[in-house]
Structure formats: C-alpha cells, structure tokens
Amino acid sequence: MRRLSAIVLALALGLGGTAAWAQQKNLTWTAGQIGGGWYAQAGGFVELVRSQDASFNIKVVPGAGIQNMSKLQAGETEIAWGLPPFIAASYNGQDPYTDKHSDMRLVMNGLGFVHIQWCVPADYPDKSIREIFEKKGRTTIGTTPPGGSDEWVMRKVFEFYKTTYNDVRSRGGKVILVSYTDLTTQYRDRNMDILFANLAVPGAAIQEASLGRKMRILPMDDDLIKFMEAHGLSRGVIPRGSYKDVVNNDVDIPTIAMANAIVANAKVSEPAVYEFTKILLKNVGAVRKVHPAFKDFDPKDAVRLANVPLHPGAAKAYKEAGLLN
C-alpha cells in the first residue's frame, strides 16, 4: 500500500511538473507598433517556433523600443524586441531610464538592423537634413509616439541642430506623433512632408507611403552620424535598390542603424528560453527568410551585447551549438 501511494505521489508530481512546463511555454512577446517591422517579424518567428514545437503558445503584442525594456523588467511581458543602445542603457540605469533593469537578459542579438529613414516628397525643396534645419521654415514632421526608438532618435537629431519641437510649432509647423499606419496616411494625404522612421529595410510603412506619393530619403551628414555614434548607434546605409518608389533608390543612402535583439526577463524558465533559442539556431535558413533584414544573420553575432548577461536558457543552447565556451 505504501509503495502504491509512493507511485501515485510520484505520478502526481510528474504531472504537476508537466503542467507547470506547459504553462511556462505560454509567453507574451512585446514587439513594436502595429504596421511596423517588429510586429510582423515577431509574428514570423512565432510561426517558425510553433512549426517546430506546437506546445509553444506565444502571443505577440504591440510595444516600442524604449518602453519594451521597462515592461520586461516589470514582468508585464516574458520576451521582447530590443535595440542594443536601449538594452544596455536599461540594464545599467542610464538615459533614457532612471532605474537599473537588473532582470534584463539577452536571448539573441544580431537579427539584422533597423535604419533611420528621413523621408520627404520627391519634389521637396530641401535636399539635405541640414538645409531643413538651417532654413528654419515651416516644417511638418511625423514619427511614432514617445516610448519608442523613433521619437527618441528624432529628438537627438533636433538636439544636434539646436532645435526643439516648440521651435517647429512656433514657425507654424507641426510635430505629429502617431502610429506607423497613421503616419503613412498623413504622408500620402499631404498633411505631412517629413516621415521619420526607424525601421528594418525595406520598411512596410515606407513602401506603402511611397506608393501614393513619390519619395526621397535624405542622407545623414557625417557630423550628424558621428553625433549619433556617440549615443550608442552605428553607422549604416540604406542599400541601393531597397525601395522602387524612392527616387534616389539608385544609390546607398548614409544613415545610422541599430541591431535587432531579443531579450527576456531573467525569471522566464530556463527550459522555455532554451527550447526557443535552440529552434532558431537549428533553423537559421528559415530565420533569414522571416524578413529581408535577416538575410545575413550569423548565429556567431547572437551571443553578446555590451556586458548584458545571457539568459541561462539561451546560454545552454549556444553552448550546445558550439557558439559559447
């Protein structure tokens, strides 16, 4: 009788462990704005992961580059898209964060790049970003709301040119802070002349906006790029041929960029993150097909990010793949 009881108890404990494990594979992935690259890319990854392990139930929800880190730290989401400058800043409690996000853990870095794209109509009179600010004319510019990387970077550009949003408004201009979907509509309806976006190339919002109104993407001057590099961003280019309805699509366009990274809360179970990471590492070809920005993804670039620790589950997967000692 005692032996039977022990067996029943062991089975109960085993079933309880299975139930707990199933619960741990129910994850929320905070991505980006609906209509932006991150939201669609996360959806592509979810399809890939579920095709390999149907017990994963990953819900993709909207987010933004800066606020994603705070949501992760607060336990409001299990995994999130992030950008290296903001991931490192949140972990260390640096601008734009006031507190250290000590539960921040890296899962995978190097998943392509997002690029700043300063878009104007093809017939726009100013041919450089500097010219726009130096003329101090009436400007209508739009990007996504505060809390995302787009608006943060745009404020830094304004800072470089010693301009504020109030300066723009005082000259009869507008600063429009809305979703990518609304930005596209505002640009196409000619309610806005400058569309400022931080998106993987090609960005769906840029493609759609340029379909209804021919577009030029202005290059960043070298001194502006150096200023942005000092804030943790990287020099990059929007490659020629990226957008068929952009009139200067025949040349590489200098800009700044940030790598895409997946991060997780330290409290997310090691087995869940291990299985998630392992699936992506075993299907690199499929990862590269999720979005054109991932076409050059190399797992060797995935394992480190500015002293932010790896999640133990991800570390285990990288060690098994021979990517980490």
* pLDDT tens sequence for the chain (325 residues): 444 444 434 434 444 433 443 445 899 999 988 877 889 999 999 999 999 999 999 999 999 888 999 999 999 999 999 998 899 889 999 888 999 999 999 999 989 888 999 999 999 999 999 999 999 999 999 999 998 889 999 999 999 999 999 999 999 999 999 999 999 999 999 999 999 999 989 988 999 999 989 999 999 999 999 999 888 888 999 999 999 999 999 999 999 998 899 999 999 999 999 999 999 999 999 999 998 889 889 999 888 776 789 999 999 999 999 999 8
User: How many whole angstroms separate alpha carbon 242 and alpha carbon 240?
Assistant: 6
Tell me which amino acid residue 171 is: R
* Burial tier of 306 (Cβ tally within 10 Å: 0-12, 13-18, 19+): middle
Confirm or reject CATH 3.40.190.10 for domain 113-256, answering yes or no: yes
Three state DSSP letters for 173-224: CEEEECCHHHHHHHHHCCCCCEEEEEEECCCHHHHHHHHHCCEEEECCCHHH
User: How many whole angstroms separate alpha carbon 256 and alpha carbon 34?
Assistant: 23
Confirm or reject CATH 3.50.50.100 for domain 24-112+260-320, answering yes or no: no
**Which part of the chain is CATH 3.40.190.10?**
24-112+260-320, 113-256
Q: What are phi and psi of 175, to 5 degrees?
A: -115, 115
180, two tokens:
């990518």
